[in-house]
Amino acid sequence: MKTMHLLEGLEFHDKNPNSEPLHVDRNGRVLRFMLKPGQSITEHSAPSSPFYVVMLKGQGMFAGGDGKEQQLGPNSLLVFDLGENHVIRALDEELVFVGFLQGVPGTRPGKVGGKMARQRK
């Protein structure tokens, strides 16, 4: 079993949001996102998987395929359908969330990556 404290070792970038792969294998991908106040992730989609988001810290505005923004914070769960466009914007505090994707097209069988894979066992 591998474990990680999700609010430790956070790395925020001044210019752009930071996305950090925590675990990657052929079955899926776990990414941690860190945004400074006012930063945003422009409209995009995950064409090969639904995108599941668990909010950890801060408040942000999230919009899905319908374009309607919702303010969400810690302990919120968001589910974007496969290929659904979405936009994310941090409000007036640091925003941290974890995203989960199913399957990773092009990942070599047996290849495991991400921050957790680099930690000592």
User: Per-block average pLDDT, block size 10, for the chain (121 residues)?
Assistant: 93 96 88 97 92 98 96 97 96 98 73 62 46
Residues 6+ apart with CB under 8 A from 48: 82, 101, 103, 105
What local confidence, expressed as pLDDT, does residue 26 receive?
82
Query: Torsions phi, psi of 60, nearest 5?
Result: -145, 165
Select from 1.10.460.10, 1.10.287.3510, 2.60.120.10, 3.40.225.10 the CATH code of 28-105: 2.60.120.10
Cross-strand partners of 62: 70, 88
Full-model pTM: 0.88
